[in-house]
Amino acid sequence: MGSSRFRNFCIIAHIDHGKSTLADRMIEATNTVSQRDMHEQILDTMELEQERGITIKSQAVRMIYEYEGEEYTLNLIDTPGHVDFTYEVSRSMAACEGAILVVDASQGIEAQTLANVYLAMDNDLEIIPVINKIDLNSARPDEICQEIEDVLGLDTSEAPRISAKEGIGIEDVLQAVIKHLPPPKETEDDTLKALIFDSYYDNYKGAISYVRVVQGSVKQGDMISFMATNHQFEVTEVGVFLPSQLPVKSLSAGEVGYIAASIKNVSDTRVGDTITSAEHGATEPLPGYKDVTPMVFCGIYPADGADYEDLRDALAKLELNDASLIYEPESSIALGFGFRCGFLGLLHMEIIQERVEREYDLDLITTAPSVSYHVTTVKGEKLVVENPTNLPPVTSIDYMEEPIVETTIMTPDEYVGAVMDLCQEKRGTFKNMEYIEETRVLIHYIMPLNEIIYDFFDTLKSRTRGYASLDYDMKGYQKSNLVRLDILLNSDMCDALSIIVHEDRAYARGRSIAEKLKTAIPKQMFEIPIQAAIGGKIIARETVKAMRKDVLSKCYGGDITRKKKLLEKQKKGKKRMRQVGSVAVPSEAFMSVLKMD
């Protein structure tokens, strides 16, 4: 079968607009998975994905569909939708010729959809708009089509109007894919070039690359080279996705599949890298490869210090499957031994934390997220600071720079005031605002990333009753008046609670942290002053009053086991506390400062 009967595409959608459901229906309609094995959100294999209804890792599925007497091979690449994974999404798109844009018939376009559509356009994808959830009473497909035409400039005259949930219009979508999406381009050159759009670690087969073969072909026994690292391996297996792995003889230009080559380390199979032949291979890789650069950092510590080794093993195992997770050991006076971890963004951070806690049964203490600051010292040295503790003394700093992003916020117009107030509070600089519909507005702000990683998204959601959506894009670094805010407990500094903030925001943050710690730290035998300080200057103070009563219940009829159990429970609770100078601080206290007001 020639590549003219291949169609490689992805689905773009905002969360909850029905991406996974549409994928499920297409898989069913093409009988790709037997009914017995079919279940909801079949492409989201991780428990966390199923639970949250999100896609974290890319996944692919090959479907066979007969149209006008011809058999077509449709490769659907399911990608994450979240801004944290923009690079991964862009590589998945580079592996496709087209995209289905799913838009909820009552909700319309969201900020995230927009970002991903632009990404698809950047990758020269042909886009088929699909209007989903037409069965809902609140559906307004005509208006939404108009919105798509106005905002995105896409023709919606032939856009399938479907209900993935009810199974309405699925054939229309499959046929539109065949009719409107182009087949892979024919290439003259048959030197192997395969684009890695994701990778996965298998305990038996090693790191497996998910690839789109752009030119040439690859089969078992071939020697291949990864162009970013120049490491070479012998192919042990190639195959396609059903979506389970099905070995095939070879993968040729235009095809989507996987390559296993007994690779020990997932960092050899980097997303965006090009696989070529070890001998007489390509000299130029496919365009678009980028090294992973973490945007958000935080310290991760075991709640029980004795679990340090287990935490290290857990991170090592997660790293096998996630090349964008970066970590190195660090230690804190308050928290002992742990790791400084770098993430693509806040969702990525949350996912990793949750997976460590869930899949490895570890309780964690995480420190406030930080970004990467550029510090220039008076001596002219340039430093990169990802941990507030490592910030040099104020006197030796010439100036500091912080990462800034352009945020795109989409909101119903009644919340414009609330959104602008929030952006202003968070040191945003207004760029412009556009109406995309009569009552929907797109607001652009330039904002410091360190304001976004704190509680921006939660606050945005709560001030707009959940209607606003957010996307952001790195815009580089800018000079800023930043200070380190330290927290002192009974006069001892607690390094794990230090944060870097803008001078103007320090007072408010200091006061809010002190207030939260006051409720999170239990009464102890003495009064505990909680102070927030910049340099030597105290800017906020709260006090935890001394404990007055801590007595056992009555010892009845010689039953001492009950009291012993109570004491042991207390003792266990104490073990989970961290000693900061003379003060015992429970794990929750470290986390409480991260919560929004």
Partner 1 sequence: MSMPGLYVHIPFCLRKCHYCDFVSYPNMENSIDEYIDALLTEAKLNDAFFSSRRIDTVFIGGGTPSLLSPSQIERLVCGLQSLPNFNPTEFTIESNPETITDTKLAAYANAGINRLSIGLQCHDNDILRAIGRGHTYQNFLTAYKLAANHFDNINVDTIFGLPNQTLESFRETLRQLIELSPTHISSYSLKLEQGTNLYSSFYGIDDETDREMYHTAIEMLSDTGYFHYETSNFSQQGFECKHNMKYWTGEEYLGLGVAAHSYYDGNTRTNNTDNLMQYIQMLSNGEKPTVNTITLSNADMLEDYIMLHLRLVEGIVFDDFYNKFNTSFQNEYADAITFAKDAGLITITDSSVHPTIKGFDLQNTLISEFMKKM
Residue ranges in contact with partner 1 by CB under 8 A: 525-526, 547-561, 563-564, 566-567, 570-571, 574
What residue ranges in 79-186 does DSSP mark as E strands? Answer: 98-104, 126-132
Cα 193 to Cα 206: distance, rounded to the nearest angstrom:
21
C-beta of 246 vs 560, nearer to partner 1: 560
**Torsion 399-403-406-410 (CA) sign:** negative
Q: What b-and-e string marks burial along 557-582, b requiring 16 or more CB atoms within 10 Å of the CB?
A: eeeeeeeeeeeeeeeeeeeebbebee
In which residue are the tokens 């660090």 written?
330
Q: How many of the other CB atoms lie within 10 Å of CB of 62?
A: 22
In whole angstroms, the minimum distance from the beta carbon of 524 to partner 1 comes to 8
Among the listed residues 498, 522, 528, 520, the one whose alpha carbon sits nearest the alpha carbon of residue 510: 498
Q: Which two tokens stand for residue 575?
A: 């073990």
C-beta of 204 vs 556, nearer to partner 1: 556
In whole angstroms, the minimum distance from the beta carbon of 553 to partner 1 comes to 4
C-beta of 290 vs 565, nearer to partner 1: 565
C-beta of 465 vs 574, nearer to partner 1: 574
C-beta of 382 vs 548, nearer to partner 1: 548
C-beta of 380 vs 557, nearer to partner 1: 557
In whole angstroms, the minimum distance from the beta carbon of 574 to partner 1 comes to 7
How many CA within 13 A on the CB side of residue 460? 25
DSSP 8-state assignment for residue 105: T
Using alpha carbons, list the distances in angstroms from residue 225 to 189, 210, 218, 275. 18, 15, 12, 6
Give Cβ neighbours of residue 153 (< 8 Å, ≥ 6 apart): none
In whole angstroms, the minimum distance from the beta carbon of 529 to partner 1 comes to 18
In whole angstroms, the minimum distance from the beta carbon of 549 to partner 1 comes to 4
In whole angstroms, the minimum distance from the beta carbon of 84 to partner 1 comes to 43
- Residue 76, strand partner residues: 9, 61
Cα 455 to Cα 505: distance, rounded to the nearest angstrom:
14
C-beta of 476 vs 558, nearer to partner 1: 558
Question: Do residues 346 and 296 make contact, with C-beta atoms less than 8 angstroms apart?
Answer: yes
In whole angstroms, the minimum distance from the beta carbon of 545 to partner 1 comes to 9
In whole angstroms, the minimum distance from the beta carbon of 580 to partner 1 comes to 17
C-beta of 444 vs 563, nearer to partner 1: 563
In whole angstroms, the minimum distance from the beta carbon of 514 to partner 1 comes to 23
Question: Do residues 516 and 534 make contact, with C-beta atoms less than 8 angstroms apart?
Answer: no
In whole angstroms, the minimum distance from the beta carbon of 542 to partner 1 comes to 19
Give percent helix, percent strand, percent coil of the chain, each to the nearest 5. Answer: 30, 35, 35
Q: What is the dihedral of CA 32, 37, 41, 44, to 10 degrees?
A: -90
Q: How many residues does the chain have?
A: 597
Q: Is 144 exposed, middle or buried (0-12, 13-18, 19+ CB in 10 A)?
A: buried
Q: Which two tokens stand for residue 543?
A: 């006090």
C-beta of 290 vs 562, nearer to partner 1: 562
In whole angstroms, the minimum distance from the beta carbon of 402 to partner 1 comes to 44
In whole angstroms, the minimum distance from the beta carbon of 304 to partner 1 comes to 16
C-beta of 316 vs 567, nearer to partner 1: 567
Q: Which long-range contacts (CB under 8 A, 24 or more apart) does 236-243 make?
A: 236/205, 236/260, 236/261, 236/262, 237/205, 240/62, 241/59, 241/60, 241/61, 241/62, 241/75, 242/32, 242/33, 242/61, 242/62, 243/27, 243/32, 243/33, 243/42, 243/43, 243/59, 243/60, 243/61
Using alpha carbons, list the distances in angstroms from residue 128 to 13, 93, 161, 166. 12, 14, 11, 20
Tell me the pairing of strands 70-78 and 6-13: parallel
C-beta of 223 vs 547, nearer to partner 1: 547
C-beta of 38 vs 546, nearer to partner 1: 546
In which residue are the tokens 């195992």 written?
317
In whole angstroms, the minimum distance from the beta carbon of 53 to partner 1 comes to 37
C-beta of 166 vs 550, nearer to partner 1: 550
Q: What residue type is assigned to position 274 of the chain? A: T
